[in-house]
Amino acid sequence: MCRLMAYKGTPIVIDDLLYKPKNSLINQSINAREIEEPLNGDGFGVGWYVPGLNLEPINFVSVNPAWSNRNLRNLAPKTMTGCMLAHVRAASVGDVSESNCHPFQ
């Protein structure tokens, strides 16, 4: 089962949403307790807006697990937004490919 997280509010550093909380999306992607298979390691995606720079959303997707992606780990504490969607994937149907990672463009 895939997991999605959405945020709309006061601008916040995305690290404060994706990594820092005890039940963050990244923690849930590697250590889910409510299902038999605790991993969501078949890709991830993060989309966010920075309206002061551009009206188009920024999309970052990968077929690698979110918990081990160095680029996401480096980007998260340096990026702020007031509108974000994040997704971690556990493939059940479809290829493990970037085209199957939300947010779709």
Instruction: State the average pLDDT for the chain.
Output: 82
Task: Kindly provide the b/e burial profile for residues 4-37, where b requires at least 16 CB atoms within 10 angstroms of the residue's own CB.
Answer: ebebeeeeeebbebbbeeeebbbebbeebeeeee
Percent of the chain surpassing pLDDT 90: 43
Q: Which of 23-27, 28-32, 38-42, 66-70 has the highest mean pLDDT?
A: 66-70
CA atoms within 13 A on the CB side of 42: 18
The pLDDT score that the predictor gives to residue 79 is 95
- The CA-CA-CA angle for residues 95, 100, 103, to 5°, reads 170
More confidently predicted of 70 and 91: 70
Beta strands in 19-53 (DSSP E): 44-50
* pLDDT band (50, 70, 90) for residue 11: very high
Which residues are identified as catalytic? Answer: 2
